[in-house]
Amino acid sequence: MKCTENKQQAVIKLLKKKAIIRPCDLTPLNIGRTTLSRLCAQGIVQKVGRGLYRLADADVSEHDMLIEACKAVPNGIVCLLSALRYYELTTQSPHQVWMTIDVKARPAKTNLPIRFVRSSGATLRQGILIRKLHGATLRVYSPAKTVADCFKFRNKIGLDVALEALRECNKKGLCSIDELWHYAKLCRVGNVMRPYLETMTL
C-alpha cells in the first residue's frame, strides 16, 4: 500500500511540474499505467486527450491547451491565431488550437479542438521556435513568420486580423522589417504586404 501511495505522490509531483504528461513520462520513474488509472478513478487526475493527463483541479490556461496540442501532434507547429495569442498580438480569442502540419501528414486522432493548416517545404520548416513551457516543449512559429502566414491565410482569418498582428508586432519590436520581408517573400505575399511594410519604414 505504501509503495502505491509513493508512486501516486510521484505522479502528482510530476504533474505539478509539467502540467501535462503522457504515460511514457512515467517510465524513468518505474511507474506503470495502472497508477494513472487509479488516480483517474479517484478523480485526482483527468484524461484530457489521447494519452494526455493533467491534475483534475489544475488551472487550465490557453498555454496549457497549446501544450496539449503539441503533445497530441508531435510534428505540428502552433500557428496563426493561436501563435498570435501566444505573442499577445491579437484581441482574438480562438476556441481552437491552430496548428500547421505537412501536406502529406495524417491529422492526429485527438478529441482536442485543433484546426489544421497544411504546408510544405521551406514554408513549413522555416521560422519554428522551440519554447519550454511548464516543462513541456512548445513548437511555435516566430512572430515574423506568424504575421506573414496571417496575410497568406487572410481569407481564413480576415485581413483585419493580419493588419492588427503586423501593427502590434512592429509596436512591440518583436521582429525587424527585414525578417518580415523575408517571410513575406517566403509565403509569397510580398506584393500584398508591400504597402504596409513600406509605410512602416517611413
Same domain, 41 and 136: no
User: In terms of Cα–Cα distance, which of 115, 110, 86 is closest to 98?
Assistant: 115
Q: State the DSSP H helix or E strand holding residue 151, giving kind and residue range, or none if neither.
A: helix 143-152
- Cell numbers linked to 97: 488550437
Q: Decide which of 133 and 68 is more confident.
A: 68
Same domain, 50 and 77: no
Same domain, 101 and 144: yes
Question: What is the overall mean pLDDT for the chain?
Answer: 87
Residues 65 and 98 sit within 8 Å (Cβ to Cβ): no
pLDDT at 61 over 70: no
Same domain, 14 and 47: yes
Same domain, 44 and 120: no
Same domain, 47 and 89: no
Domain boundary among 32, 55, 78: 55
Per the structure, the count of domains in the chain is 2
**pTM of the model as a whole:** 0.74
Same domain, 70 and 159: yes
pLDDT average, residue stretch 68-96? 89
Q: What is the 3-state secondary structure (H, E, C) of 12-34?
A: HHHHHHHCCECHHHHHHHCCCHH
Say which range, 25-34, 45-54, 96-105, has the weakest mean pLDDT: 45-54
pLDDT average, residue stretch 141-157? 96
Same domain, 85 and 144: yes
Return d(Cα 98, Cα 65) in angstroms, integer.
Answer: 11
Same domain, 160 and 71: yes
pLDDT at 7 over 90: no
CATH code for position 15: 1.10.10
Return d(Cα 7, Cα 121) in angstroms, integer.
Answer: 45
Residues 85 and 93 sit within 8 Å (Cβ to Cβ): yes
Same domain, 146 and 79: yes
Return d(Cα 11, Cα 32) in angstroms, integer.
Answer: 10
pLDDT one-digit tens code per residue, 104-116: 998 877 777 899 9
The parent domain of residue 26 ranges over 2-55
3-state secondary structure of 15: helix
